[in-house]
Amino acid sequence: MPRSFPTLALALAAGKDRFVLLSRTITAHTLYQAGSVIPVGHVATLRFISFGAEGLPPAFAAYAPLAIPARDVMAALAPAYGVDAKVPAG
């Protein structure tokens, strides 16, 4: 089990403290065996852009009201995943 959120921590270290979710796709995987369909899992693909104080690139400016602070996500998910959400302040 991971003890931190390395991708978010790297983004924060680079000054990218916010992100916007651009799209998501959820795919259900099934197995067809002996005439039965058996669910075997799901895959989620998220497309996002991270940014910092400089703001979003002009092509994504309309997404600005949907910005999510990375530290808020880390704090919310840490208890569920049993990881340390603390990262140095940027």
d(CA 32, CA 57): 45
Q: Which domain holds residue 62?
A: 6-81
Structural domain includes residue 1: no
β pairing state of 68-69 and 18-33: antiparallel
Structural domain includes residue 87: no
Structural domain includes residue 58: yes
Structural domain includes residue 67: yes
The total of structural domains in the chain comes to: 1
pLDDT recorded at residue 3? 59
State the pLDDT confidence band at 77, using cuts at 50, 70 and 90: confident
Structural domain includes residue 89: no
Structural domain includes residue 74: yes
Cα Rg of the chain (Å, integer): 17
Structural domain includes residue 31: yes
pLDDT recorded at residue 90? 52
pLDDT recorded at residue 14? 84
Structural domain includes residue 42: yes
